[in-house]
Amino acid sequence: MLTKLWLIPLLPFIGFVLNGLFGKRLGKAFVTGVALVSTFGAAVVGTMAAFQYHAQYPEGERYVQTVFNWFTSGSIHADVAFQLDPLSIVMLMVVTWIGALIHLYSVGYMAHEDGYWRYFAYLNLFLSEMLVLILGANYLVMFVGWEGVGLCSYLLIGFYYKTDYAPAAGKKAFVVNRIGDFGFLIAVFLMFAYLGTADFGLVSHRAAAGVDAWLLTAICLLLFLGACGKSAQIPLYVWLPDAMAGPTPVSALIHAATMVTAGVYMIARSNALYRLAPDAMMVVAIVGSVTALFAATIGIRQWDIKKVLAYSTVSQLGFMFIGVGVGAFTAGVFHLVTHAFFKACLFLGSGSVIHAMSGEQDIRKMGGLRSKIPITYWTFLIATIAIAGFPPFAGFFSKDEILGSALSSPYLPAGVRYLVWGLGSVAALCTAYYMFRLVFLTFFGDFRGTHEQEHHLHESPATMTIPLIVLATLSTIGGFALAWHHTLAKWLEPIYPKIEGRESEFAIANEVPLMIVATIIAAIGTWLAYVRFYKRGLAADESFAQSSPAIARGMENKWYVDELYEAIIVRPLEKISLFFWKFIDAIIDGLAAMLGYIVQGFGDLMRFFQTGNVRNYALMLFLGVIVFMWVIS
């Protein structure tokens, strides 16, 4: 299978083609079969390839397979090539297996929806593009996948196209992502212009061989702009909360577990460049930490169950960027993996809650669901403990490693290290607080919905609960297993090319005290949520609004960032475009009309020569010859 890497993205692509072309006609059973076979097939093939790779390259060398030469132009050479190395294998396992589980979950969740075939066609296409993104051996192939997943994200956010908000949310996601993609593209152009290649290995190699610092900083910052778009960081995070308009499994797969982590993957993949550009790393770390806290505060006062999780995702992505920004790339990827476990579990759990509540998403109308949907409750609780960061659940290990690395990073000045650690720790406190608020409001207390809803409450079918149980199990033991004996760190070691004085692994000082501090922080957050929401329920939210109305309103309205963008970007743009349309366009139209008259005149002139008379034609021939002879002699 190792020699057939292209098969991995091809399988879901075939699924996309079959479902897209024939799904509507051949019915649900066909669609389900194609979707599941192609995704589980990709997962199995990917796993086999990973094992073969490990057997053949125990040292973790980069295995590149060129499918064909895409184009060669002058010194620029681009191949369609796939690669396997420890990092892409980590991503491959996460994407294929979680992707396959969520396909399984979707079979139950989407069973009663119109456009079942369309949903699975898009979802299969997404998986295919995501695999292209993580298996690509150069930045160009990566960009193909990068754009492809963006397209699928757009299509799936707008899946309920008959509503008002879903297509608008899709459009917003697409437009905001374009800003990031612009950065990515310019970075790739800079690589071609100054390094002459976009191949991962060669770029690292040539960068390490000595390039101007400004160039590396520019490339890294532009790549990070791309990452900000795809991975929803300040200032481009605004699309992700709106993206919750899509079906819930899509939120779990694309907007939590896989696509949004592409930016983190990309930076980890570019670690050789970043390690040579500490300034860029500082930007990444600071943006990550500010995003982590900022989004967490918004999450505290949302009532839509999916919105809370969306802001939580933005916040957790911030943590990952702290990791890669302080130089602890392994820690960043580690958190990416554990986050995929528990956040997918949380989203699928919320989907199960929404399913049980007949489509209701407002937690103010829930409450007391613990006994009604026990499997959902327990898995949701486990994932919450994991994200809050209690040992020995998955989130604890990765988050602790990120914050510990932030304090001892050799790349950042001391002040920045403490700032990043401080922001991250407060964000961790908020995380525990808003997540347990969500649990207490949803699963404890009295039921606050309608009788109709109460009557319909039911646990979800097995296709939905099995993925929940698997993910909850991973959320429990996944972190410990990967941290045990530094398994993940050792596995990823080969992806960091040796650069003199730029360590990829550094010792974390005061590891045990930091762990204790982290646990205490999580405990305080949980305790606060317990005191306020377990005992008082929704009343706690109201008393908060009364005691500090300004802050409450700010959080509720997402700190007015959408309004700010509207005022400083969207509206001025509209005015400028109006100016161009009404004024500049009129001038250009006038000029164009004038050109038309000139051409018309020219045409008339031509018609004068085009008499249709052979003698005139022959005369013109001779005149032409004579003029040229006269010119040359």
Partner 1 sequence: MSLNDLIFLLPEIILATGASLLLIAPVTGLRDSISAKWAMIALLIITAGSLLACSWAVPGMEQTAGFARMFALDAFSIFFKLLFLFVVAIVVLLSDDFLRESRYSTWEYYSLLGFALCGMMFMASGVHLATIYIGLELLSLSSYILAGYYKNEQKSTEAAMKYFVLGAVSSAILLYGISLIYGVCGTLNLLDIARALSTVVSNDALMFGVILLACGLCFKIAAAPFHVWTPDVYEGAPTPITAFLSTGSKAAAFAIFVRIFYVALPGFHLDWSMVLATVAALSMIVGNLAAITQESVKRLLAYSSIAHAGYVLMGIVAMNVMGLRGVLVYSFVYVFANLGIWSIVLMMKRHEYAGEKVSDFEGLHSRSPFWAFSMFVFLLSLGGIPPTAGFIGKYFLFYAAVQAGFGWLAIIAVLMSAVSMFYYLRIVVAMYLRDGKEADVTASGALKFVAAVCVVATIVFGVVPNDLIDQVSSSAKGLHNKGAVTRNATR
User: Which of 527, 617 has the CB closer to partner 1?
Assistant: 617
- Shortest gap between Cβ of 622 and partner 1 (angstroms)? 8
User: Which of 587, 597 has the CB closer to partner 1?
Assistant: 597
- Shortest gap between Cβ of 605 and partner 1 (angstroms)? 9
User: Would you say 50 and 69 are in contact if contact means Cβ atoms under 8 Å apart?
Assistant: no
Judged by CB under 8 A, the number of residues near partner 1 is 28
Q: Does 623 bind partner 1 (CB under 8 A)?
A: yes
- Candidate segments 243-251, 376-384, 557-565, 610-618, binder of partner 1 by CB under 8 A: 610-618
User: Which of 531, 618 has the CB closer to partner 1?
Assistant: 618
Question: Cα separation of 515 and 323, whole Å?
Answer: 16
Q: Does 210 bind partner 1 (CB under 8 A)?
A: no
Radius of gyration in angstroms for the set of CA atoms belonging to the chain, rounded to a whole number: 28
Q: Does 625 bind partner 1 (CB under 8 A)?
A: yes
Q: Classify residue 479 by burial, with Cβ atoms within 10 Å: 0-12, 13-18, 19+.
A: buried
- Shortest gap between Cβ of 627 and partner 1 (angstroms)? 8
- Shortest gap between Cβ of 436 and partner 1 (angstroms)? 54
Question: Cα separation of 188 and 26, whole Å?
Answer: 43
Pairing of strands 63-73, 76-84: antiparallel
- 3-state secondary structure at position 81: strand
Distances (CA, A) of 421 to 1, 154, 395, 400, 507: 44, 35, 17, 11, 16
Contact flags string 60-79 toward partner 1, x per CB under 8 A: --------xxxxx-------
- Shortest gap between Cβ of 425 and partner 1 (angstroms)? 52
User: Which of 573, 627 has the CB closer to partner 1?
Assistant: 627
* Paired tokens of 19: 């479902």
User: Which of 13, 393 has the CB closer to partner 1?
Assistant: 13
* Paired tokens of 505: 């692994």
Q: Does 629 bind partner 1 (CB under 8 A)?
A: yes
Q: Does 410 bind partner 1 (CB under 8 A)?
A: no
* Paired tokens of 409: 């990073």
Q: Does 163 bind partner 1 (CB under 8 A)?
A: no
The contacts of residue 227 (CB under 8 Å, 6+ apart) are 180, 233, 262, 263, 264, 266, 267, 321
What HEC string does 128-170 produce?
HHHHHHHHECEHHHHHHHHHHHHHHHHHHHCCCCCCCHHHHHH
Q: Does 608 bind partner 1 (CB under 8 A)?
A: no
Q: Does 617 bind partner 1 (CB under 8 A)?
A: yes
C-alpha count within 13 angstroms, C-beta hemisphere, residue 428: 31
User: Which of 362, 589 has the CB closer to partner 1?
Assistant: 589
- Candidate segments 6-14, 98-106, 575-583, 617-625, binder of partner 1 by CB under 8 A: 617-625
Number of residues written out for the chain: 633
Could you give the angle at which helices 374-388 and 462-483 cross, rounded to 10 degrees? 30
- Shortest gap between Cβ of 608 and partner 1 (angstroms)? 11
Q: Does 593 bind partner 1 (CB under 8 A)?
A: no
Q: Does 56 bind partner 1 (CB under 8 A)?
A: no
**Site residues (CB under 8 A) for partner 1?**
68-72, 599-600, 602-603, 606, 609-610, 612, 614, 616-618, 620-625, 628-629, 631-633
